[in-house]
Structure 1
Amino acid sequence: MAHSDAWGGFWALMKHADVAAVAADWQTYLTSQQNVVPKVAFTGRRPPLHLDPPEHTPYRRALAPLLSDRRVAALEPVMRRICRDLLAAMVARGGGDVCADFSSHMPVAVFGHWMNLSELAVDQLAQVGQRYNIAVQSNDIEQTRIASAALYEVAQNVVAARRASPLAVETDATSALLAVRVDGAPLPDELIVGTIRQVLVVGLIAPSVVIGAMAVHLARDPALQTKLRDDRTLLPAAVDEFLRLYTPYRGFARTAERDVCIRGRTIPAGEPIALVYASANRDEDVFEDPDSFRLDRPNMTASLAFGRGPHMCVGAGLGRLELIVALDELLSAAPGFVLAGEPMPTRFPEIGALSAPIRFEQAA
């Protein structure tokens, strides 16, 4: 663990055991005070991330059935059609930027389908999401504020449309949130909007950077690329290992409600604690040869890529399937691909590729 005076001061937990324990102990370590280091939120609370149990539970409970294994599996044909259309355009040009031309568009289209958005709303979401991501990556605070406000406007429009014309709660996330009652009262309007805003960002950016990271890794490892292309049954394990190796979020934060002692050091109550998932997933005490890609790891369930505890990603199943399908279709698009330029890594808060230029190889 370490302490930094940057951004007003914070603690950082790096070891797998510490990160997992704190993430699971929601009674001691709160997410409602500060959920990331440094703070980047400029607007209201966004459940479920910004609330602690039991306040966050109704929001997760409304979303969870729409992200069940059965519901997610039903999206696979849609995912494949979207991937094939995007990749066909890249193949016709002989290559392109995996992130700009493929992975930044695919999650938006999938998400739009999952949320029952109109084509106009999907186009708006794609544009605003891209502006938000660029602003955050560039550390442009003013543009981040503007793009964040625009994302809220998208969320507000979705909520207003569903309030006027509700859809079945079994098929629509916004309608499900609007139908929730806690002690007979509906959820607050501003928190429903905040939930949709949070779901939009997490569902768009993380898959994009992981797909980019996978493409870069495979372009640099043609033997692994061939192995996965020849045996697609290996893809789920490969995606799990890619998620461990290239954990998309560096980590979230908690605040201890009382003084706590971790590894012999006292962290005073009220001071931010960064949980560095990316470091925990490369902890040599848990993962042998942690910086290497291995398909046969016996303890992949230890990965913290989707978090741990009550704030574990509610959309983990959807995100994982998106990655498996994207990888499968990328491998099917051509006999091979290589880097066509230097990749550009993300800056903050994700880890992965912001740009990944590739060239498709033709059959001999």
Structure 2
Amino acid sequence: MTKVIHDRRAPEGTERFSKRHDFDAETDPSDFDAAHELFSDLRARCPVAHSNDMEGFWMLTRYEDIETAMSDPTLYSTAVQNVVPRVATTGRRPPLHLDPPEHTPYRKAIAPLFRRERMQHWNKVVREISDRLFKDIPAMGRADICGEFSFHLPIHVLAEFFMISEEDALRIRNIGHAFNLALQTKDFDAIQKHSLVLYDIAQGIIDDRKENPRDPGADPASALLAARDFDGEPLPDQGILGTIRQLLVVGIIAPTTFLGSAAVHFCRHPEHFQLLKDHPEKTPQITEELLRLYTPYRGFARTPTRDVEIGGEKICKDEPIALCFTSANRDETVFDCPHEFRLDRDNPKPAIAFGRGPHRCAGEPIGRLMIEAALESWAKYCNGFAADGPTPMTTWPEYGPFAVPVRFL
């Protein structure tokens, strides 16, 4: 549980922030299981841990502490640093980079795009895209599930979502790929360079919608241009630009790496792939359990606005805190046999896969839909996978492989 420490002050002239080093943040990037082994160790011996890597940060590994931090944006801000490591160098990108109430008009503008009625439309569209992209791949005999399929799926969905051309979608795909590689290698000059190109693409979408308005109930740029703030004024141009820029990339990396993790799981557990084939009605349950086991986010961050105490550890105002969803969803105090794949779970709390509170992922419905569609396509067009090479892993803030070579069964 969290309580505020009102009177804590660092002595004048001393180092304010912690230099304690409980763990190395950069685990073996070639080992699919290394991160989970680290998090299990930390939950047992040091659930509120500090690392001096990546400029220094705290990490919460237990479900309860993370749930508490996500529920109080006045005490745990996302406006200072939203991920570990700090990578945002090119301006604010609402709604993620703002706290309530500033973030609320942006959130309200895009939320209707994911309402139930719109998901009925996307159900057919996303499944058709997934089938089209995957159906001919098994005939190749061997393929990289990420490179040949899961990287392409969100890009094609993105093109439909933003109502842009395949040419523009391809450009976003290439820049998004380069942006992701820069993140993995921590090439911050390249991160900034590619981010600026994404801003140019976002500005082009906005300029087009100003000249050619679309239905605000279906088009994100038109929805933001039509939105009003609390005073009835249009949202600022820079805020709209930042939101479109954020939406262009946020939905690319996570589906790629998560579906890679799912493929690794099915290579290890062919009986679970057979379950998927034999019982397509269980696809939503299988999706939920895979999301719990392989949650693709370990580095979403908050910054305390005052000194706090979490799990007996004192954390100073302005020290970044990583909320490790990947660890929380294997917390032994919440999930029985947390490392096992089980569809008969009766847990008191659901897994934290898309966040919680005011910054819960607005695109969660379409994210789940993409995953379910992909699993359905796999079950429809092949009989399973066998591992066919190494699975290089992403680094912070994501978790999951960015390449999964397989042989089709």
TM-score range, shorter chain: over 0.9
Whether 2:302 is the aligned partner of 1:254: answer yes
Whether 2:255 is the aligned partner of 1:207: answer yes
Q: 1:355 aligns to what SS in structure 2?
A: coil
Aligned partner of 1:309 in structure 2 is 357
Q: Which amino acid aligns with 1:215?
A: A
CA–CA distance in 1 between the matches of 2:55 and 2:251?
29
TM-score, length of structure 2 as denominator length = 0.86
Whether 2:217 is the aligned partner of 1:157: answer no
Partner residue of 2:388 out of 309, 332, 340: 340
Partner residue of 1:95 out of 134, 142, 162: 142
**Shift in alpha-carbon separation, 1:301–1:107, aligned structure 2, 3 A:** farther
Whether 2:124 is the aligned partner of 1:72: answer no
The question of whether the paired residues in 1 share the 8 Å contact of 2:334 and 2:348 is answered with no
Aligned partner of 2:174 in structure 1 is 127
1:108-139 C-alpha deviation (Å, 9 max, x unpaired): 10111011111221111111111111111122
Aligned partner of 1:51 in structure 2 is 98
The question of whether the paired residues in 1 share the 8 Å contact of 2:298 and 2:322 is answered with no
CA–CA distance in 1 between the matches of 2:273 and 2:359?
34
Whether 2:334 is the aligned partner of 1:286: answer yes
CA–CA distance in 1 between the matches of 2:317 and 2:389?
48
CA–CA distance in 2 between the matches of 1:3 and 1:344?
26
Partner residue of 2:400 out of 352, 355, 359: 352
**Shift in alpha-carbon separation, 1:347–1:299, aligned structure 2, 3 A:** same
Aligned partner of 1:318 in structure 2 is 366
Whether 2:68 is the aligned partner of 1:2: answer no
Partner residue of 2:110 out of 40, 63, 66: 63
CA–CA distance in 1 between the matches of 2:86 and 2:211?
35
Aligned partner of 2:377 in structure 1 is 329
The question of whether the paired residues in 2 share the 8 Å contact of 1:240 and 1:300 is answered with no
CA–CA distance in 1 between the matches of 2:310 and 2:138?
52
Q: Which amino acid aligns with 1:285?
A: T
Worse overlay, 319-328 or 85-94: 85-94
Superposed displacement of residue 92, structure 1: 2.8
**Shift in alpha-carbon separation, 1:245–1:300, aligned structure 2, 3 A:** farther
**Shift in alpha-carbon separation, 1:267–1:348, aligned structure 2, 3 A:** closer
CA–CA distance in 2 between the matches of 1:321 and 1:300?
24
Partner residue of 2:277 out of 218, 229, 232: 229
Superposed displacement of residue 262, structure 1: 1.4
Worse overlay, 109-118 or 341-350: 341-350
Aligned partner of 1:34 in structure 2 is 81
Worse overlay, 256-265 or 316-325: 256-265
CA–CA distance in 2 between the matches of 1:244 and 1:149?
34
CA–CA distance in 1 between the matches of 2:54 and 2:393?
23
Superposed displacement of residue 91, structure 1: 2.2
TM-score, length of structure 1 as denominator length = 0.96
Whether 2:308 is the aligned partner of 1:268: answer no
CA–CA distance in 1 between the matches of 2:128 and 2:215?
25
The question of whether the paired residues in 2 share the 8 Å contact of 1:241 and 1:300 is answered with no
Superposed displacement of residue 336, structure 1: 2.6
Q: Which runs of 5+ in 1 are unaligned?
A: none
Q: Which runs of 5+ in 2 are unaligned?
A: 1-47
CA–CA distance in 2 between the matches of 1:258 and 1:345?
35
CA–CA distance in 2 between the matches of 1:204 and 1:40?
17
Q: 2:135 aligns to what SS in structure 1?
A: helix
Aligned partner of 2:195 in structure 1 is 148
Aligned pairs, how many? 361
Q: Which amino acid aligns with 1:59?
A: Y
Aligned partner of 1:184 in structure 2 is 232
CA RMSD of aligned residues (A): 1.4
CA–CA distance in 2 between the matches of 1:342 and 1:37?
26
The question of whether the paired residues in 1 share the 8 Å contact of 2:114 and 2:365 is answered with yes
CA–CA distance in 2 between the matches of 1:6 and 1:348?
11
**Shift in alpha-carbon separation, 1:321–1:301, aligned structure 2, 3 A:** farther
Superposed displacement of residue 301, structure 1: 4.8
Superposed displacement of residue 300, structure 1: 7.8
CA–CA distance in 2 between the matches of 1:13 and 1:348?
14
